[in-house]
């Protein structure tokens, strides 16, 4: 069995490699060259602590496994991220554990890469203003990923907690990225690209704050009851998702689908493979919902593991 630490992951994985891995995973999902199984949502012993399990397989790579993501609400008091991730890859012949990968940092890159891939194919080429609602740990990954695929000239950030937004601005400045704190309304009204990355269970803004031609990536909804966008906006936009069926059950489009069961949601893989044209006009509002699929985790984990083995960074251990 191989054990891959977070330090090794950071040595290997880049935003560019994450982009390639996630783009491939979306196409694989759309072309049904792998399976995605129902998400399991569970709770820890203490209130506010939850974890989820996403599992799947990739036929052509002969790969099966799962990701366990946890949210422990009091970790910030311990100086630790609230979110943590572990990825387990199985030996396809025996079903025994083949690798365990510390996926905390990797999950940040993977989630942001999903945003970057969808935004790259759906946002207008001339988009230069990035708005972000939510300023937690994941928002930094999201901003850096978008800056890789667009010439972003202005970044506006809003958070329910002013100090959190200010901290995000400082962290970005340390990496040479200039951002500013703004109100929710101004973020929405000025953004060419809007990213929502919160745990909200109700809309964050009003539909009429969004300008024609805006692209929105909704990154926060990953279980039933979460919602970041107003239904009025969803009803008049072109909708895309990593996995449409999952988006209707635990993603951003859950509430809208309950009201409109025939709601059209296109798999982003259809756009990436050329089966769907994506954005149809410069005035169209496009929305991408990322509820997260196991094939993303398997694809990026295999990339890390294969690279770590080839570089001699990991050795097998007995288990």
pLDDT, position 77? 83
Share of the chain above pLDDT 90, in %: 93
Catalytic residue annotation: 67
pLDDT, position 159? 96
pLDDT class of 241 with cuts at 50, 70, 90: very high
Report the mean per-residue pLDDT for the chain.
96
319 pLDDT higher than 80? no
Beta bridge pairs of residue 244: none
| Host H or E run for residue 58 | strand 50-58
pLDDT, position 296? 97
pTM for this model (two decimals) = 0.95
pLDDT class of 28 with cuts at 50, 70, 90: very high
pLDDT in tens, 113-144: 999 999 999 999 999 999 999 999 899 999 99
Using N-to-C axis directions, what is the helix angle for 294-310 and 15-30, rounded to 10°?
130
pLDDT, position 83? 84
Name residues whose C-beta falls within 8 Å of residue 86's C-beta, 6 or more positions apart in sequence.
Answer: 67, 68, 100, 101, 102, 103
């Amino acid at each position: 069995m191989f054990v891959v630490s977070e330090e090794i992951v950071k040595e290997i994985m880049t935003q560019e490699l994450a982009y390639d891995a996630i783009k491939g995973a979306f196409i694989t999902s759309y072309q049904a060259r792998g399976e995605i199984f129902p998400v399991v949502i569970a709770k820890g012993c203490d209130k506010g602590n939850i974890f989820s399990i996403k599992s799947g397989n990739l036929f052509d790579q002969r790969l099966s496994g799962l990701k366990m993501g946890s949210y422990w609400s009091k970790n910030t008091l311990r100086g630790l991220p609230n979110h943590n991730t572990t990825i387990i890859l199985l030996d396809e012949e025996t079903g025994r554990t083949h690798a365990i990968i510390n996926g905390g940092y990797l999950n940040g890159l993977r989630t942001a890469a999903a945003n970057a891939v969808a935004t790259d194919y759906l946002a207008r080429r001339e988009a230069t203003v990035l708005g972000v609602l939510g300023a937690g740990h994941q928002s930094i990954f999201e901003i850096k990923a978008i800056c890789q695929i667009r010439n972003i000239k202005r970044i506006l950030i809003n958070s329910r907690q002013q100090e959190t937004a200010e901290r995000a601005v400082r962290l970005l400045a340390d990496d040479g990225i200039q951002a500013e704190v703004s109100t929710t309304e101004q973020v929405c009204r000025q953004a060419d690209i809007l990213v929502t990355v919160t745990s909200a269970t109700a809309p964050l803004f009003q539909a009429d704050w969004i300008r024609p031609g805006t692209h929105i990536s909704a990154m926060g909804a990953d279980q039933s009851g979460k919602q970041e966008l107003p239904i009025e906006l969803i009803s008049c936009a072109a909708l895309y998702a990593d996995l449409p069926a999952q988006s209707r059950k635990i993603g951003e489009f859950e509430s809208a689908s309950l009201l409109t069961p025939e709601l059209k949601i296109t798999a982003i893989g259809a756009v990436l493979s050329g089966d769907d044209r994506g954005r149809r006009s410069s005035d169209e509002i496009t929305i991408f919902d990322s509820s997260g699929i196991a094939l993303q985790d398997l694809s990026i984990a295999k990339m890390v593991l294969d690279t770590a083995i080839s570089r001699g960074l990991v050795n097998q251990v007995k288990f």
